[in-house]
Amino acid sequence: MSVQAATVRKRPNAGVNLLLGLTLLGLLALMWLALSVATNTFWTENNLTNLARQGAMIAILAIGETFVIITGGIDLSVGAVTGFCSMAIALFLAQDMPIWLAILATLGIGLAIGLFHAFGIVQLGLPPFIMTLASLTALRGVGLLITNGATISITNDTFTGFSRGGYLGVPNLFWMVLVVAIPAYFFLHQSRWGRYLFAIGSNMEAARLSGVNVKAIIYVAYILSAVCASFVGILLAMRIGIGNPTQAEGWELQAIASSVIGGTSLFGAIGSVQGPLLGSFILTTINNGANLLNLNSFWQKIITGLLIIVIVYFDGLRRKKR
């Protein structure tokens, strides 16, 4: 089986992606309309700004996670990577390192973590679930050892001021989503490497026999996921002005949920960039709306969990039908 055949057999065509995107967009609009009627504070500038900033960070995490899920893998460490990198850049800035150099160094840490994950999966043969779960735990522990459990304050106003600013009335953090999403779209949907990701998720052995360097592509997927998470760590440190390795706890589940809500199959070979982006804002809107309606935070988790179960169930039906 050729790479093209393996990809076409599993990957949704442009029409299906468009229909899914329009459905998610309609659902998001419906949720916003319902919340505007149910509350007096949803359409306030402060709430919409917070919604955009929070959704932006989850969206970037979800896009990175999608690269891995399409190959049939999973990355449970993205929340821990985010927290660890928020601590790392705070430490760099505390040493009076230039902002640009601190950002590059932090992204370099994300790249190294991605390499480490891929090495364990490809070279040592460890399951992605186990490898990234171990990394999740280890990164939290290493971060706490480095900081001795303390929070690192960021006093660089230029750095933190970026998160409070905006352009054309849109928060800067939301513009960062486009910085990631646009090249991610062309990489995943327009490049040969993107086709290889789908081919591996469809049938890894067939992709290998077709000449795809499967090991290299898996390295790319986990590096992209970790680098996206490290970028979110930088944005998180900007937004709240502190670095702490315990931050972003549970964000890995939000990233996976956003990707799945956006149409990415947990079985691999199906996914897009625009889907997780919309999925992240749907999930963020659910959490935001629950807060505005004074619902118990436990209900937010229940709703998200039930939503994932329903979507994965229908994804399973879709695979059986195919």
Q: Of 304, 167, 206, give the one whose Cα is nearest residue 198.
A: 206
Mean pLDDT of the chain: 89
- Rounded distance between C-alpha atoms, residue 187 and residue 235, angstroms: 23
Q: Residue 193: how many CB atoms within 10 A of its CB?
A: 15
Instruction: Flag whether pLDDT at 9 surpasses 70.
Output: no
CB 188 within 8 A of CB 194: yes
User: Which is more confidently placed, 207 or 15?
Assistant: 207
Q: For helices 99-118 and 128-147, give the axis angle rounded to 10 degrees.
A: 140
The whole-number pLDDT of residue 186 equals: 96
Distance, first Cα to last Cα, the chain = 17
Distances (CA, A) of 195 to 41, 67, 74, 254, 308: 44, 11, 18, 26, 26
The whole-number pLDDT of residue 14 equals: 60
**Domain locations in the chain?**
3-25+44-321
State which H helix or E strand residue 242 sits in: strand 242-243
With 0-12 / 13-18 / 19 or more C-beta atoms within 10 angstroms meaning exposed / middle / buried, residue 238 is buried
User: Phi and psi for 153 in degrees, rounded to 5?
Assistant: -80, 145
CATH for 3-25+44-321 is: 1.10.3470
Convert the pLDDT of each residue in 84-120 to its tens digit.
999 999 999 999 999 999 999 999 999 999 999 999 9
pLDDT-derived band at 299 (thresholds 50, 70, 90) equals confident
Whole-prediction pTM:
0.91
pLDDT-derived band at 241 (thresholds 50, 70, 90) equals very high
